[in-house]
A and B are shown apart, each in its own frame.
Chain A
Amino acid sequence: MTLIETVTVGSGGASSIEFTGIAGDATDLVLSLSLRNSVDSPSATLAFNTGGSYTRKRLLGNGSTASSDSATVDLQSNTSVSTASTFSNSSVYVSNYASAVAKSYSVDSVNENNATLANQAIIAGSWTGTAAITSLELTPTSGNFVEDSTASLYSIS
């Protein structure tokens, strides 16, 4: 497992986090995330390269109920109303990212707010793109990622 790059959001926040120029010399990618949103919006999406379409199946638990849906987002994020200094945690696993077929990915993601709000999601995702993944972008559903949000991209060979 080799660290490709870590992005730490600076003062003023960021409307997205992007990794570009990802080399195709490994087998899998792992993304490790610590996120907080500037507004009360608890989710973010993931995009590979450009184009293609995404499908997802999500299993979500919130401490009292479980539900499942075909989500339109990939990640949980702490928000502007979460306890100060708390961030969500997520891990994304992308298998065979350099292959010439559609890509599968798996997400584990959790946000939490001092035990008054907690969501844990596991997601099965796929992207129809058949090109090798060379870039990856994270975007909050609305608002910005706040300062000290981090994203680390690893490769596994």
Chain B
Amino acid sequence: MATPTYDLLESVTLATAASSVTFSSIDQSYGDLILVAEGELNPSANADFGLIFNSSTSGYSMVDMMGNGSATESQSEGNTYADCGTYLYANTGARQIVTVNIMDYAATDKHKSFLARNSSSGTSGRVWAVAGRWANTAAITTVKVEPSSGSLANGMTFNLYGVAK
């Protein structure tokens, strides 16, 4: 099997905390998108690690499962953003990695599916797997990363890759 080709489309490293990060005018020539976010948690309050496609705040549905080292949880939800698991919980010094695969993002004849993995260990760490759908047939041209409350921490990195068809 040929090795998948990942092309880095854009990389953002936050020099200061920010309310959101937006990737716009996304190249439409790839098959899938992969977003990788990594950084230190900002221990202010619980929030969701949210993605918003094309500035649309409707049509997101998710099924997820979570483990926190003792308890497990699984739920389905509809929301105004793609909920990719928890961000910003009280876990001082801990780091988090979130990967989101967005399949066939440039298609104009299908709803968009995404798979997210959200990992943070440490005292209050959690591990999430999320399967989601954005009920919209538009090609995804912008991806906005925005926690449901609070801000994205200083030093966080966000890399958006295109996976060649």
Task: Indicate whether A7 reaches chain B with its CB closer than 8 angstroms.
Answer: no
A103 nearest CB neighbor, chain B only? B95
Q: Would you call the interface of chain B mostly helix, strand, loop, or mixed?
A: strand
Task: Indicate whether A15 reaches chain B with its CB closer than 8 angstroms.
Answer: no
Task: Indicate whether B59 reaches chain A with its CB closer than 8 angstroms.
Answer: no
Q: Contact between A106 and B67 (Cβ–Cβ < 8 Å)? A: no
Task: Indicate whether B15 reaches chain A with its CB closer than 8 angstroms.
Answer: no
Q: Contact between A66 and B38 (Cβ–Cβ < 8 Å)? A: no
Chain A residues within an 8 Å CB radius of B66: 59
B71 nearest CB neighbor, chain A only? A68
The answer, among A2, A67, A103, A122, for a CB contact under 8 Å with B127, is A122
Task: Indicate whether A27 reaches chain B with its CB closer than 8 angstroms.
Answer: yes
| Total interface residues in chain B, CB < 8 Å | 37
B119 nearest CB neighbor, chain A only? A124
A-B residue pairs in contact (CB < 8 Å), sample of 27: A3-B3, A27-B159, A28-B159, A57-B67, A57-B68, A58-B67, A59-B127, A66-B72, A67-B72, A68-B68, A68-B69, A68-B72, A69-B70, A70-B69, A93-B36, A93-B97, A101-B40, A102-B95, A103-B95, A104-B95, A104-B97, A104-B120, A122-B119, A122-B127, A122-B129, A126-B95, A154-B3
Chain B residues at the A interface, C-beta cutoff of 8 Å: 3-6, 8, 11, 36, 38, 40, 65-72, 74, 94-97, 99, 117-122, 125-127, 129, 155, 157, 159, 161
